[in-house]
Every structure is written in structure tokens, then in C-alpha cells.
Amino acid sequence: MRNFKVKMAYNGANYHGFQRQDNALAIQQVVEEAIESLTGEKITIFGCSRTDTGVHAREFYFNFKIDSTITCRGIIFGLNPKLPDDISILSCEEADDSFHARYDCKGKEYEYILHNSEIKNPFYKDTAYRHWYPIDENKLEKAAQDFVGKHDFKAFCSTACEKENTVRNIHYFHVRREKDLVIFNVSGDGFLYNMVRIMVGTLLFINEGKIAEDAIPKILASKDRTLAGKTVPPQGLYLNKVYYGDQPLKKRI
């Protein structure tokens, strides 16, 4: 069998995350059905991550194995017409038989987009989180540096998280403003359930004075979810970059 490594992008507003579910529509189901329609083979795709309901991906990898003689070009241009407009196949390549999109992943970058305005913008519906309270992005950029490094992030994951090992290494975390958008970029070797959304929510609490500016190291040490901030909504979150092999995990400036 041949093993294909495929890169896609999607707007997750209409889906209950990537992973196939019994009672809701997920990205995995839609893509698998499109591949079966194209090739006549029923397959399972293996994704690089389990994105939540409403979360988007600018770069998402999956792999699948198939007996078909179809080419990479055939997969790209054969699948895209069969997929809805909110899912797009960006690239495809044949990979080693041992390649697995999830287990071979070396790290990820997420981006969270916040629309910082009292006035709603219809073009940000389902693609950004509107937060009216004035944001000091420089204060949050400084506070976000306390997340960088290897820490136990038990206080920054959902209580539904089933991971026994909650230690993760964050490579960088930056906050910047582009007009009325405040953008959070965080890169790490892995992330826990709701981790990015809770980290952003904690920074917003710092911005509003609900949590002290220097509190993040203490919250990390406590391993207590109740001391961290809220879980911000999913529509502002994007899986932005996925790293494999020797790709450098460069610090974003």
C-alpha cells in the first residue's frame, strides 16, 4: 500500500472538530467520504491533531494508506471538487510507510485572533472572537513570556483532559496588534485540551486586572485550573503551522 501525506486547510465553523463522531459532522468524516468517492476505496485518515468544534486550520496534515494507483496531483485536483468550500486540499506527497501525521509531528503553532472593538464586524463572524474591553497588547506580550519554556500546564488545560503527562515545552508566545485585531501566536512541542484557549483567557484576565501581571508562574506551580482565566471561545483559534522532521522551530518576531 502507498502512504500519502496530505496538507489541507479548513474553516471549522460548521464542524464538530476534526475527529469523526457518531452523532455530529466532523472534518474526518467529510474527507474520508470524499476519498472513497474519488478512489472507490474505504480508508481511514490519521490527522496531526484533534481540533475542537469551531476551530480552524490554516495548515493541517493527515496521512492515509491506499492501494490505488492515483497520483498526488490526482488526489489534490480530484478531492477538491468533492469537498465543500470550507475545506481545501493544499498539497500531497508520498511518504514512507512508517509516516504518521500525529506521531511524527515535532511541534505546532497556533494563532488566536481577537477582534478588540465595541462594534461587531460581520466579516469576523465565526473567524474571530470579539472582546470589547480595551487591550494593552504590550502588557500581554510581557506576561506571555512566563509561559515560555518547559512547564507542567495542568492548570491550563480542561478538567476533561485525560493526559497523564501534562508537561509541555512552549517555544514562543507573542501578542501583537493589527488595527482592531489582537493576535496571539504560540508555538510548542504539544498542547493539552483547551490549553491555548485557557492561556489566552488568562492573559485577558491579566489585562482586566482580574489576575496579577506576575501570576502566571504561580498558577503553573499550583497545577490548579481554578486559578487560571476563562476558556475563550473556539472561533478565534487557528492551527497555523505543523512541524515535521528537521523543520526549524524558529522564534516569531
Residues 133 and 30 reside in one and the same domain: no
Q: Dump pLDDT digits (tens) for 170-207.
A: 999 999 999 999 999 999 999 999 999 999 999 999 99
Give just the sign of the alpha carbon dihedral 91, 97, 102, 106: negative
Q: Is the pLDDT of residue 96 over 70?
A: yes
Residues of the chain with pLDDT > 70, as a percent, come to 96
The number of angstroms, rounded, from the C-alpha of 79 to the middle of its chain's C-alpha atoms is 23
Q: Please, are residues 20 and 91 in contact by the beta-carbon 8 Å criterion? A: no
The confidence score (pLDDT) of residue 244 equals: 94
Residues 85 and 148 reside in one and the same domain: no
The confidence score (pLDDT) of residue 185 equals: 98
The number of angstroms, rounded, from the C-alpha of 153 to the middle of its chain's C-alpha atoms is 17
Q: Is residue 251 part of a domain?
A: no
pTM for the whole structure = 0.94
Non-local (6+) Cβ contacts of 31 within 8 A are 8, 45, 62, 79, 83, 87
Give just the sign of the alpha carbon dihedral 119, 120, 121, 127: positive
Write down which residue in 95, 116, 131 finishes a domain.
95
Residues 90 and 122 reside in one and the same domain: no
Residues 26 and 48 reside in one and the same domain: yes
The confidence score (pLDDT) of residue 245 equals: 84
The confidence score (pLDDT) of residue 159 equals: 76
The confidence score (pLDDT) of residue 228 equals: 97
Which domain CATH number covers 19?
3.30.70.580
Distance CA 173, CA 147 (A): 7
Residues 114 and 199 reside in one and the same domain: yes
Write down which residue in 95, 123, 153 finishes a domain.
95
Domain that holds residue 76: 2-95
Beta bridge partners of 56: 238
Q: Is the pLDDT of residue 160 over 80?
A: no
Which among 105, 106, 90 is positioned nearest to 46, based on CA atoms?
105
Catalytic center residues: 52
Residues 54 and 155 reside in one and the same domain: no
* Nine-digit cell string for 77: 485536483
Q: Dump pLDDT digits (tens) for 103-144.
A: 999 999 999 999 999 999 999 999 999 999 999 999 999 999
Q: Dump pLDDT digits (tens) for 67-92.
A: 999 999 999 999 999 999 999 999 99
Q: Is residue 103 part of a domain?
A: no
Distance CA 77, CA 229 (A): 44
Give me the chain's average pLDDT, please.
Answer: 94
Q: Is the pLDDT of residue 248 over 70?
A: no
Residues 141 and 233 reside in one and the same domain: yes
Residues 74 and 155 reside in one and the same domain: no
